[in-house]
Structure 1
Amino acid sequence: MGVIVEFTVDDESLLLRDTLSEVPSMRLEIVQDTASRDGLPIFYFWATGGEYGAFEAALADDESVADYELLERLDDRRLYRVKCSRNSFYDAYREAAATMDDLAADGDGWHLRMRFPDRESLREYRSMYEEAGVQITVHRLFADSGGPGDAFGLTEKQREVLTLAHRRGYFARPREVTLEELAAELDVSPQAVSATIGRALETLVGATVASEPGGR
């Protein structure tokens, strides 16, 4: 049976660690993580709770950040795109056939919620951190019931956005609704909708096509 684990990792070597040390009250909610053509991580995230001027100054000085862009500015949060200057090993979960449900970061480290096909794959993934000397703190670990609400490892927000996009004809050709129209209905930015759809589709492919024999 699969397992779901919620844990925190913290180490000076982690991406954006210097930035979050400078502005520890800032919390980053990752809406999409992908990679550039040269294989370097790219994060799209909402930042909340800290002083944005200090945060952006810290991003500019962070050796793990190649460049960043402010995509959306709201009263209580801002959406950023950050390209990292080096790789991190957190994304080895793909090799473990695991699914990332949630990813966030703040002054206490990176907070992850992941699904693993079995306990052995979880042990292998956890040992990767431990062998590198990275502190890992497990908060919750429980069986993956595989109920309807957890189908394919999608988060509630991802299911909501994908369902609306499908119902409104976003995936039709030609499209029957724009990102801007979806964003208005969801009361978020078009960039956030695009990022959520992208991450949800990646999760679906990983749980279906890529998980079949010969799919990797």
Structure 2
Amino acid sequence: MLLTTFRIDYPILRTALTHASDIEITWERSDLIGDGTHRMLVWADGPAFGTFESGLEADPTVKSPTRVIEFDERRLYQLELTAEGRRASVYPTVVETGAILQDATATDEGWDIRAALPDEETLDQYHTFFMSRDFDVELKQLYEDWKPSYCSQPRFGLTDRQHEILVAAVDEGYLDIPRSCSLAELGTQFDISSNAASERFRRGTKALIENTVYPNDHPT
């Protein structure tokens, strides 16, 4: 498989993010329903939720959002794409081609989408999709002969990104006493915000504990 990272000037949520330049979006999941409905779960990180939600109401690619979970500077939204959003969405192509969407983040500067594609023909198919819709797209990274983590060494339930940040946390001294680096510095290493680094680190730590030292008979 090919592991790719694209930077895309993607219209989905562009209006909402333009209203709130301090917000970073992290895609959680998408669902395609038989009647043509396309729903997304996305995390929003940042301080400007008021302007972001005003932007959501004005955004032509999504319907009125549902706020699912709320923390101080982090919220989970369920969004349904409008007809305009569905026409722009690459996710149906992801499903059709058998690609694996690793992660996707967005700011007012665009979307970074990381996906594993079956072959070069599929890569050409994605390029054609973006260009036919006049999306500005940049292929930032391309790794050939990539295998999912479950095909190589054990990862104990970690995603590749979670594995990377946990290893970096050890290498850079985040877990030392006293600490030699901050989560913000780890985030800079992976070109993500400190909030996104914190969430990735916490999710990775949780997955590692649950798949190693967590008792099998512990009540859930």
- Taking structure 1 as the reference length, the TM-score comes to 0.67
Q: Which residue of 2 aligns with 1:60?
A: 57
Say whether 1:114 aligns with 2:115: yes
- Using the TM superposition, give the Cα deviation of residue 128 of structure 1 relative to its aligned residue in structure 2, in angstroms: 1.2
Count of residue correspondences: 170
Looking at structure 1, the residues matched to 118 and 155 of structure 2 have their Cα atoms a distance apart, in angstroms, of 13
* Residues 70, 81 of structure 1: 8 Å contact kept: yes
Q: Which residue of 2 aligns with 1:35?
A: 32
- Partner amino acid for 2:140? H
Q: Which residue of 2 aligns with 1:47?
A: 44
Q: Which residue of 1 aligns with 2:90?
A: 90
Q: CA RMSD in A?
A: 3.1
- Structure 1 residue ranges (4+ consecutive) displaced by more than 4 angstroms after TM superposition: 153-163, 167-170
SS in 1 for 2:65: strand
SS in 2 for 1:82: strand
Q: Structure 2 unaligned runs (5+)?
A: 163-202
- Using the TM superposition, give the Cα deviation of residue 142 of structure 1 relative to its aligned residue in structure 2, in angstroms: 0.9
SS in 2 for 1:112: strand
Say whether 1:74 aligns with 2:71: yes
Looking at structure 2, the residues matched to 43 and 169 of structure 1 have their Cα atoms a distance apart, in angstroms, of 32
Looking at structure 2, the residues matched to 100 and 31 of structure 1 have their Cα atoms a distance apart, in angstroms, of 10
Looking at structure 1, the residues matched to 29 and 89 of structure 2 have their Cα atoms a distance apart, in angstroms, of 17
Within 5 Å, give how 1:7-22 maps onto structure 2.
7-11=6-10, 14-22=11-19
Q: Which residue of 2 aligns with 1:148?
A: 153
- What's the % identity of the aligned pairs? 22
- Partner amino acid for 1:89? S
Looking at structure 1, the residues matched to 215 and 7 of structure 2 have their Cα atoms a distance apart, in angstroms, of 37
- Using the TM superposition, give the Cα deviation of residue 108 of structure 1 relative to its aligned residue in structure 2, in angstroms: 1.2
* Residues 6, 111 of structure 1: 8 Å contact kept: yes
- Partner amino acid for 1:8? R
Say whether 1:102 aligns with 2:99: no
- Partner amino acid for 1:18? T
For the structure 1 residues 70 and 141, does the alpha-carbon distance in structure 2 shift closer, same or farther, using more than 3 Å as the test?
same
Q: Which deviations, in whole Å up to 9, do the C-alpha atoms of 1:20-41 show, x marking residues without a partner?
A: 1111221111111113453232
